[in-house]
């Protein structure tokens, strides 16, 4: 097989639109990374086909930090309800358990919206089960827009250091299959259409509009790619990535 790169970082987001967490390893299923975006809030007033409530509307959503009490273990193939019990810490340091009606009320008062919590063991992603982003793309886009960019702004699952240092190299993989580590196979299926989320500093929620402007003007609104999982398994930081 042809060596394409190395898995440089691995992230999941227990609650859609809230802060993510770095992992050293994770189980990847056809539905995505176990534990990724298993909780999400719906805006009851939003009747569109994208009803999610999050940092697009309330930037400081991204500062809420969820944490599994007994996180899913990559070596396991089946998971108990307790593996998804999650504590969320607010930007002010207050803590709530996901599913507690008091937390929903807290968010409703904060956002001025009527909200409904959803839970699904299948990742509630925007388009496909996993997202992939090249580290050289972060560097190049930062240079293009003149803004220091934190890779976390793109909220990808798999951050890759490609052997080919050409920025946006991942775009050339659309339609191809890649193997990550010993077993997992992912097909690159489409580019990732971007929104205001990529402008938000993950530590302060301060927006840098120039980032999204550059993506729209120079890259037709796309940066990073989505993948469909063809073979399940475990991925680890440092895993080789090969063309299948």
- Residues 49-102: pLDDT tens digits? 999 999 999 999 999 999 999 999 999 999 999 999 999 999 999 999 999 999
Structure tokens at 187: 């097909």
Q: Residues 112-131: what's their mean pLDDT?
A: 96
- For the stretch 137-156, pLDDT in tens is 999 999 999 999 999 999 99
Give the list of residues 6+ apart from residue 208 with CB closer than 8 angstroms, or none. 145, 147, 149, 199, 201
What pLDDT does 105 receive? 97
Q: Residue for token digits 């680890």? A: 236
The mean of the pLDDT values for the chain is 97
Which CATH code for domain 2-243?
2.40.33.20
Q: What is the DSSP letter of 78?
A: S
* Two structure tokens written together for 49: 């086909």
pLDDT of residue 125: 95
Query: What mean pLDDT comes out for the span 9-38?
Result: 98
pLDDT of residue 1: 80
Helices (H), 122-204: 135-145
Task: Report the relative pairing of strands 2-12 and 184-193 from DSSP bridges.
Answer: unpaired
Radius of gyration of the chain (CA): 18
């Amino acid at each position: 097989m042809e060596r394409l790169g190395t898995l440089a970082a691995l992230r999941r987001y227990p609650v859609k639109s809230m802060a993510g967490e770095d992992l050293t390893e994770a189980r990847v299923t056809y539905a995505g990374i176990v534990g990724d975006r298993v909780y999400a809030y719906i805006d009851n007033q939003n009747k569109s086909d994208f009803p999610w409530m999050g940092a697009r509307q309330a930037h400081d959503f991204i500062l809420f930090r969820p944490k599994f009490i007994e996180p899913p273990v990559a070596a396991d193939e089946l998971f108990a309800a307790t593996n998804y019990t999650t504590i969320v810490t607010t930007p002010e340091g207050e803590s709530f358990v996901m599913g507690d009606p008091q937390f929903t009320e807290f968010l409703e008062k904060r956002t001025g919206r009527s909200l409904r919590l959803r839970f699904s063991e299948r990742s509630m992603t925007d388009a496909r089960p996993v997202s992939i982003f090249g580290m050289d793309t972060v560097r190049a886009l930062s240079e293009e827009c003149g803004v220091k960019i934190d890779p976390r702004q793109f909220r990808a699952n798999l951050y890759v250091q490609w052997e080919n240092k050409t920025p946006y190299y991942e775009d050339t993989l659309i339609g191809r299959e890649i193997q990550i580590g010993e077993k997992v196979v992912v097909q690159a299926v489409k580019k990732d259409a971007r929104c205001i989320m990529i402008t938000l500093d993950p530590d302060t929620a301060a927006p840098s509009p120039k980032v999204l402007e550059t993506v729209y003007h120079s890259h037709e609104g796309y940066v990073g790619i989505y993948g469909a999982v063809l073979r399940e398994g475990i991925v680890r930081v440092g895993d080789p990535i090969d063309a299948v």
